[in-house]
A = this chain, B = another copy of it.
Amino acid sequence: MNDINVRSTHKQEQIARLDRVAAGLWDEILSTSPVFAAVDAGRVDRKFFALYMLETYQYTLHNARNQALVGVRTLSARPQYVQFCFQHAAEETGHELMALHDFKTLWPEGASFEIPQPLVETEVLIAYLYWISATGNPLQRMGYSFWAESSYKYIMPKLRRLQECLGLSRQQLTFFIAHSDIDAKHAEEIERELSQNCETDADWQAVERVMTTSLRLTGRFLDGVWAEYQRLLAGAPSVYAFLNAHL
């Protein structure tokens, strides 16, 4: 086998490894997160979905921005990678509006609402994604995209169960459904960019570290959503108390 093939095989192995690690973490999250247990058991209602969509809006609002930040702060990367960062950011821009749309399909037309400040778990995820975009190995943010753009295979069964429980149409799940098409394309692009840019073990390790950390923080994000939902159900003070007016 010649050098290019060896190199290419090595890269395929690294990507397969990332896939396995992500699958293991998803297993852990899917089997331990109270959110997914509740979805399986049908113990969620439209308030939960509303809360979940508004918190999803919050971090999604920042995703295009922290993606572009990688290109802004990186002077020495391959121009193709910088271009990918900006292109990918352009394609992610405004996706938060899908989450907002899905919330609004549950909310009476004309009824006012104000999006509250993100929950602290959501804010920690946002903070981390800016940090790893602004500092460290410029390739590492792909660790976030790697799992995020291919997460549908893991969460789709849960989303179907949720859709069924709450009697939601496809048009009320645009964030997840529209996203899944775009993300299939993005997942391919991420693999291509990883192959073309990761050269050293340090590169692959930085990508894996961001992948596992951002996925774990997303697990905590779900825990935060769940805890706030419980507060809401229990009548405890909550920034989401306004949901009780119409849901």
- Out of B83, B93, B120, B130, which one reaches A93, CB within 8 Å? B83
- Out of B80, B89, B128, B212, which one reaches A68, CB within 8 Å? B89
Q: State which of A3-11, A49-57, A71-79, A157-165 sits at the interface with chain B.
A: A71-79
- Out of B79, B89, B127, B212, which one reaches A94, CB within 8 Å? B79
Q: Which residue of chain B lies nearest to A210 when distances are taken between CB atoms in the complex? A: B120
Distance in Å from the Cβ of A228 to the closest Cβ of chain B?
A: 14
For chain A, the count of residues having a C-beta within 8 Å of the partner chain is: 34
Which B residues are in CB contact (< 8 Å) with A97? Answer: 79
Chain A contacts with B in 115-132, Cβ cutoff 8 A: 120, 123-124, 126-128, 130-132
Q: Is A217 an interface residue (CB 8 A)?
A: yes
Q: Is A179 an interface residue (CB 8 A)?
A: no
Which B residues are in CB contact (< 8 Å) with A94? Answer: 79-80, 82-83
CB-CB under 8 A for A90 and B79, given A124-B213, A127-B128: no
Cross-chain contact B86 with A120 (CB below 8 angstroms)? no
- Out of B61, B68, B75, which one reaches A61, CB within 8 Å? B75
Q: Is A87 an interface residue (CB 8 A)?
A: yes
Distance in Å from the Cβ of A219 to the closest Cβ of chain B?
A: 13
Distance in Å from the Cβ of A217 to the closest Cβ of chain B?
A: 7
Which B residues are in CB contact (< 8 Å) with A124? Answer: 124, 127-128, 213, 217
Q: Is A222 an interface residue (CB 8 A)?
A: no
Distance in Å from the Cβ of A28 to the closest Cβ of chain B?
A: 15
Distance in Å from the Cβ of A71 to the closest Cβ of chain B?
A: 6
Cross-chain contact A131 with B127 (CB below 8 angstroms)? yes
Contact with B along A109-146 (1 / 0, CB 8 A): 00000000000100110111011100000000000000
Contact with B along A207-240 (1 / 0, CB 8 A): 0010011000100000000000000000000000
Q: Is A64 an interface residue (CB 8 A)?
A: yes
Which B residues are in CB contact (< 8 Å) with A73? Answer: 65
Cross-chain contact B120 with A126 (CB below 8 angstroms)? no
CB-CB under 8 A for A213 and B87, given A79-B94, A94-B82: no
Which B residues are in CB contact (< 8 Å) with A131? Answer: 123, 126-127, 130-131
Closest 8 CB pairs of A and B: A127-B131, A79-B94, A86-B90, A83-B93, A86-B89, A87-B90, A68-B68, A120-B213
Show 14 residue pairs from A and B whose CB-CB distance is below 8 angstroms, ordered by the A residue: A64-B83, A65-B71, A68-B86, A69-B72, A72-B72, A80-B94, A82-B93, A86-B90, A90-B90, A120-B212, A124-B128, A127-B128, A128-B128, A130-B131
